[in-house]
């Protein structure tokens, strides 16, 4: 496994914790510009110099970038929505793929959730010892009209995109790792969703069959779907479709769930890692969605520094105990 941590493109305490924990790989974020601003804002997605400077920022601290997460929103939001800027945005993607190749950045974690990203209705649910976790409760977000996007439109936009970029993914050796919808529900207020179950993942993988189109196996999302997480890991590891792992757990169902500490959720996390190991998974992994613990404020629910530190240590301890090699 390649043990990595998601680190924002400006060094902060989470960088220090990652480095001090022995992490040597980074899941990098591209400086983000809100939708509606210029497509690329101050960071030009088609500029090698801009990508190289970003790469060097991480590298200078001993963190080798291995995954781009998420797929840069300024380019991808229009593609997901299928709006008037779609073709121009696809052009941008086609222009940055060779740059990623040059930097040996082989994986993009992408989601297919336009308009709303990962979504929670509660951010301060008490967990062990007063730590705080996030949760999703469908009753908190009633259906609204008109729908901004339907399932059919999402599928159509996805097929349009994959057909446009598929050959370039192969040419430049860059993998697209599709993250599940979070929450994995068919409808979220005024938008619909598609990456919500195994059946739809099978459909996704059949649109443009390619060794460069696969999955971000966010364990918490597949658990929330009600899928058998051990079957999911086995099935997609065998097919070499696991491009990236999000180590995470939840309790509940698609329409009603909350996050858990990694060590006390319903999932047997040791068994999950045994399965990745036994099927020879050697790609990147990162911890995902952690509780906010004492010492952190709750300004970044799911991504607080101390909770992350605990999760990293827990993951590393299991890997060592299993003699699962990682770098
Ligand atoms: Mn995730």
Percentage of the chain surpassing pLDDT 90?
91
Tell me, in angstroms, the distance from the centre of ligand 1 to residue 288's CA: 6
Tell me, in angstroms, the distance from the centre of ligand 1 to residue 129's CA: 24
The per-residue pLDDT for range 159-171, each reduced to its tens digit, is 999 999 999 999 9
CA dist 258 to 40, 179, 255, 292, Å? 35, 18, 10, 13
Tell me, in angstroms, the distance from the centre of ligand 1 to residue 127's CA: 20
Domains of the chain (ranges; CATH) run: 2-321 (3.20.20.150)
The per-residue pLDDT for range 44-83, each reduced to its tens digit, is 899 999 999 999 999 999 999 999 998 887 789 999 999 9
Name 64's bridge partners: 25
Q: Could you tell me where the DSSP H helices lie in 28-68?
A: 48-59
Tell me, in angstroms, the distance from the centre of ligand 1 to residue 180's CA: 8
Sheet holding 122-126, edge to edge: 122-126, 132-137, 256-259, 250-253
| CB of 134 closer than 8 Å to CB of 259 | yes
Question: What is d(CA 31, CA 40) in angstroms, rounded to the nearest whole number?
Answer: 10
Classify 269 as helix, strand or coil.
helix
User: At 33, is the pLDDT very low, low, confident or very high (cuts 50, 70, 90)?
Assistant: low
Tell me, in angstroms, the distance from the centre of ligand 1 to residue 242's CA: 13
Residue 314, C-beta contacts closer than 8 angstroms, at least 6 positions apart: 262, 263, 269
Tell me, in angstroms, the distance from the centre of ligand 1 to residue 111's CA: 10
Is 172 a residue whose pLDDT tops 90? yes
Is 210 a residue whose pLDDT tops 60? yes
Question: What is d(CA 191, CA 147) in angstroms, rounded to the nearest whole number?
Answer: 5
Tell me, in angstroms, the distance from the centre of ligand 1 to residue 248's CA: 7
Tell me, in angstroms, the distance from the centre of ligand 1 to residue 284's CA: 13
State how far Cα 322 lies from the chain centre.
25
Please tell me what DSSP assigns to residue 125.
E
Tell me, in angstroms, the distance from the centre of ligand 1 to residue 246's CA: 5
pLDDT reported for residue 31: 79
User: At 38, is the pLDDT very low, low, confident or very high (cuts 50, 70, 90)?
Assistant: very low
Quickly count: other Cβ atoms within 10 Å of residue 195's Cβ: 22
Tell me, in angstroms, the distance from the centre of ligand 1 to residue 135's CA: 14
Q: Concatenate the DSSP letters of all residues of 303-327 into one string.
A: --HHHHHHHHHHHHHHHHHTT----
Question: What is d(CA 25, CA 27) in angstroms, rounded to the nearest whole number?
Answer: 7
Question: What is d(CA 7, CA 65) in angstroms, rounded to the nearest whole number?
Answer: 10
For the chain, the first-to-last Cα distance in angstroms comes to 7
Tell me, in angstroms, the distance from the centre of ligand 1 to residue 44's CA: 26
Is 279 a residue whose pLDDT tops 60? yes
Tell me, in angstroms, the distance from the centre of ligand 1 to residue 147's CA: 25
Q: Could you tell me where the DSSP H helices lie in the chain?
A: 13-21, 48-59, 73-81, 86-102, 151-172, 198-207, 219-225, 229-238, 269-278, 305-321
pLDDT reported for residue 36: 47
The per-residue pLDDT for range 122-166, each reduced to its tens digit, is 999 999 999 999 999 999 999 999 999 999 999 999 999 999 999
Q: Closest by alpha carbon to 4, among 318, 258, 308, 233? A: 308
The per-residue pLDDT for range 73-110, each reduced to its tens digit, is 778 999 999 999 999 999 999 999 999 999 999 999 99
Tell me, in angstroms, the distance from the centre of ligand 1 to residue 179's CA: 7
Q: Closest by alpha carbon to 117, among 102, 99, 136? A: 136
pLDDT reported for residue 10: 85
Question: What is d(CA 70, CA 61) in angstroms, rounded to the nearest whole number?
Answer: 21
CA dist 57 to 7, 62, 134, Å? 11, 9, 31
| CB of 106 closer than 8 Å to CB of 175 | yes
Question: What is d(CA 287, CA 317) in angstroms, rounded to the nearest whole number?
Answer: 13
**What does the chain come to in residues?**
327
């Amino acid at each position: 496994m390649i043990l990595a941590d998601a680190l924002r493109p400006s060094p902060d305490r989470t960088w220090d914790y990652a480095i001090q924990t022995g992490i040597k790989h980074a899941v990098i974020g591209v400086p983000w510009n809100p939708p509606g601003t210029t497509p690329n804002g101050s960071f030009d997605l088609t500029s090698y110099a801009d990508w190289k400077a970003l790469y060097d920022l991480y590298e200078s601290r001993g963190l080798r970038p291995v995954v781009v997460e998420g797929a840069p929103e300024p380019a991808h939001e229009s593609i997901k929505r299928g709006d008037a800027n779609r073709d121009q945005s696809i052009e941008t993607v086609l222009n940055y793929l060779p740059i990623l190749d040059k930097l040996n950045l082989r994986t993009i974690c992408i989601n297919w959730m336009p308009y709303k990203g990962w979504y929670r209705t509660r951010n301060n649910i008490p967990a062990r010892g007063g730590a705080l976790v996030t949760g999703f409760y469908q009753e908190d977000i009633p259906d609204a009209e008109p729908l901004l996007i339907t399932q059919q439109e999402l599928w159509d936009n996805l097929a349009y995109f994959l057909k446009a970029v598929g050959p370039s993914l192969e040419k430049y050796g860059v993998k697209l790792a599709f993250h599940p919808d979070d929450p994995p529900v068919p409808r979220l207020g005024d938008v619909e969703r598609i990456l919500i179950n195994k059946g739809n993942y099978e459909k996704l993988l059949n649109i443009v069959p390619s060794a460069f189109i696969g999955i971000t196996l966010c364990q918490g999302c597949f658990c929330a779907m009600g899928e058998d997480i051990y079957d999911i890991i086995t099935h997609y590891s065998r097919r070499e479709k696991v491009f990236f792992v999000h180590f995470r757990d939840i309790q509940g169902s698609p329409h009603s769930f909350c996050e858990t500490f990694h060590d006390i959720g319903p999932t047997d996390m040791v068994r999950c890692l045994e399965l990745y190991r036994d099927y020879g998974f050697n790609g990147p992994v990162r911890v995902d969605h952690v509780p906010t613990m004492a010492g952190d404020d709750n300004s970044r629910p799911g991504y607080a520094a101390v909770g992350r530190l605990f999760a990293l240590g827990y993951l590393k301890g299991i890997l060592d105990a299993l003699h699962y090699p990682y770098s």
